Amino acid sequence: MVQPVRKAVFPVAGLGTRFLPATKVMPKEMLPVVDKPLIQYAIEEARDAGIEDFILVTGRGKNLMEDHFDHAYELEAILMDRGRAGDLDTVQDLAPGSGQLSYTRQRRPLGLGHAVWCARQFILGEPFAVISPDDLVLSTPGCLVQMIEAYNEVGGNVVAVEDVPREQTNRYGILDVESDDGRLAKAKGLIEKPDPAEAPSTLSIIGRYILQPEVFDHLDKHETGAGGEIQLTDAMAKTIGNIPFHGFRFSGKRFDCGTKAGFVTANVAYAMERDDLSDEIRESIKAFL
Ligand code: UTP
């Protein structure tokens, strides 16, 4: 019986430089896909997976996210006056309950591993999930629900993986695979952003993790890795041997919304899933092409 996953960390303190100038003032995680900011998709995915405590690691210029999850009294009063019950529900239901949402600060964006380390006081010896809001996964059930099912079978550390073209291995954490049943790949090592010629596989880690608290033993050391950043991959790699480590091939389609092409594609894909939009969007795109 594995310890249940009740907490999730959302690292949202990065600079989003690949998305400038949009992210000069606006946090990348507030970019909307159709009509919802990325961070809200991430919170909803976690909520659907039974997460009870949501920890956002924010940074300078990220206050919009806190505002997004607060009550908007004036807006709610106006919507109520105008009888806009549907819109009122939309804005009232989007946040976790009081006391379930916590914020901590990463004072400088020193890397994903450092951002996760900043949440250490909230984790206190429990397994936890990490969701990068800029990786959006379109799937039913959600990616984290699928991962928790897999975690309940194998325990330890479980990360979401997908195969990428070999020329892209230098963008991801890559698994060195010991055994693979097509759904779960057991790793004997991990390498962050290897050159394609040196990558041990093409199985790459995307922004979904279930981690045991032992990862903090390694993050505590603040060792820098690829790109001079404190890498989560390096800390996870050091737990292999003590804790089982599996890559889980989720079902669904991932969009890297940290890139312009990924973000635009996600907008089209999510719009096509919507009954109120799909016909219009399909016609517009057809006409445009
Ligand atoms: P990315 O590396 O994709 O985000 O990190 P970035 O650094 O903001 O983007 P670019 O490369 O400059 O365009 C994935 C997630 O980790 C968070 C980011 O906010 C993003 O959600 N992150 C990254 C942090 O919270 N702190 C960091 O130091 C780095």
Atom of ligand 1 nearest to the CA of 57: 25
Put simply, whether the predicted model's pTM sits higher than 0.85 gets the answer yes
Distance CA 31, CA 20 (A): 12
41, part of any domain? yes
Mean pLDDT across the chain:
95
State yes or no: pLDDT of 116 exceeds 90.
Answer: yes
1, part of any domain? no
State the total domains in the chain. 1
Q: Output the residue whose Cα is nearest ligand 1's atom 2.
A: 14
State yes or no: pLDDT of 9 exceeds 90.
Answer: yes
Q: Is 135 in the pocket of ligand 1 (CB under 6 A)?
A: no
pLDDT at 51: 98
Atom of ligand 1 nearest to the CA of 133: 21
Q: Is 206 in the pocket of ligand 1 (CB under 6 A)?
A: no
248, part of any domain? yes
Q: What are the pLDDT digits (tens) for 155-200?
A: 999 999 999 999 999 999 999 999 999 999 999 999 999 999 999 9
Supply the CATH number for residue 119's domain.
Answer: 3.90.550.10
C-alpha atoms less than 13 angstroms from C-alpha of 6 in its C-beta half-sphere:
11
Q: What are the pLDDT digits (tens) for 89-111?
A: 999 888 898 899 999 999 999 99
Whether the Cβ atoms of residue 42 and residue 94 lie closer than 8 Å to each other = no
2, part of any domain? no
Q: What are the pLDDT digits (tens) for 28-64?
A: 999 999 999 999 999 999 999 999 999 999 998 888 9
Task: Average the pLDDT over 121-129 and give the result.
Answer: 95
State yes or no: pLDDT of 82 exceeds 90.
Answer: yes
